[in-house]
Structure 1
């Protein structure tokens, strides 16, 4: 992963739609209680929408995935056996989930070290800056990553090639993938002026008028 002891080569991803962000608090895999807690995200790409520069970035990552697959597993990335995870997957496998589906590719990108997260203007994002809500499922980001293999030791629970996470930059907002409504949009109606004009004592007069609503 990104904080591996091995020498790593850094790559930059094309812009992706952010899903399942876990960038500020490390979490453990409930299916593997012995594993260390991780930070991470799921990145969703639509290659058909790539710019020429993004196509180049994508090709660089795919070439590295193939090179590591050949070196550590003895097979091209596209021909890895089913028991070796490929890191980048076809979004059609999650067609029932919002944001995924035919024509998309996705990767779960993780790290044991908390990644840096910044805005388009390179300002820090995080709970200590009071703006962690800028990061949510559905916004658009890009990331710096490395490519690594795992599970090469005897007795490992799984093996494959994957992307490790360094840092994340939010590029722009997008429709939420979790259907959650932002507070600013939820309370868009004007407040009843009576609540703004009345003194606090006017609402504490011991009246039983509220019984009419029972």
Structure 2
């Protein structure tokens, strides 16, 4: 029996990017619809980063059967903890690591008091949250590595939305009452 607790991490404050947490979405190449988010982890959050590294190591140990019964060289595996300074040109990923987490099951999404958030506009790409994630080994068609499963999400605070676009309040100014004269 595997010990999932050794592969589970509840992050410190991370920022959600590419947040598909309300509706599942299929990858561009097709496949099963999944809920997903990229979790941007500040490099200064060494506690979360170390917990993720320990969980990845535990997932490799638990997945030895998937790797032919031998512990593979970590460098030969595709690992989920990635360096935003190296892999992303997006300023939101600078001075940060990131993991892409996904799940078939919808995450529970709660506020800081652990009350369910029902308003979908409350959780978006750019929001700050704590996220429960777990790691597991895979070996599919010659692709070997450790993947990150998305658990639940606790919103901590709002952040500047990522992904472009603008808010209605920045696009428009209130219409003054004087412009309503045509109704008189």
Q: TM-score, normalised by structure 2?
A: 0.83
Aligned match for 2:178, one of 194, 205, 214: 194
Can you list the C-alpha shifts for 1:102-144, whole angstroms capped at 9, x where unaligned? Answer: x31000000000111112232322xxx3x21112221111101
Aligned match for 2:162, one of 156, 168, 177: 177
Which structure has the bigger radius of gyration?
1
2:168, 2:50 → 1: CA distance? 40
- Give the match for residue 124 of structure 1: 116
Shift, 1:70, TM fit: 4.5
1:68, 1:144 → 2: CA distance? 15
Shift, 1:36, TM fit: 1.5
Shift, 1:197, TM fit: 4.3
- Give the match for residue 89 of structure 2: 96
Matches within 5 A, 1:25-64: 25-31=23-29, 33=30, 35-48=31-44, 50=45, 55-64=46-55
SS of 2:133's equivalent in the other structure is: strand
Checking the alignment, whether the CA contact within 8 Å between 1:139 and 1:173 is kept in structure 2 is yes
Can you list the C-alpha shifts for 1:33-85, whole angstroms capped at 9, x where unaligned? Answer: 3x32110100111122x2xxxx3343222112123225535246xx321xx21
Unmatched tracts of structure 1, length 5 or more: 1-5, 203-214
Unmatched tracts of structure 2, length 5 or more: none
- Give the match for residue 133 of structure 2: 145
1:97, 1:57 → 2: CA distance? 22
Aligned match for 1:159, one of 121, 138, 144: 144
Checking the alignment, whether the CA contact within 8 Å between 2:9 and 2:55 is kept in structure 1 is no
Shift, 1:22, TM fit: 0.3
Q: TM-score, normalised by structure 1?
A: 0.72
SS of 1:123's equivalent in the other structure is: coil
How many residues align? The count is 176
CA pair 184-13 structure 1, distance change in 2 beyond 3 A: same
Indicate the structure with greater strand content: 2
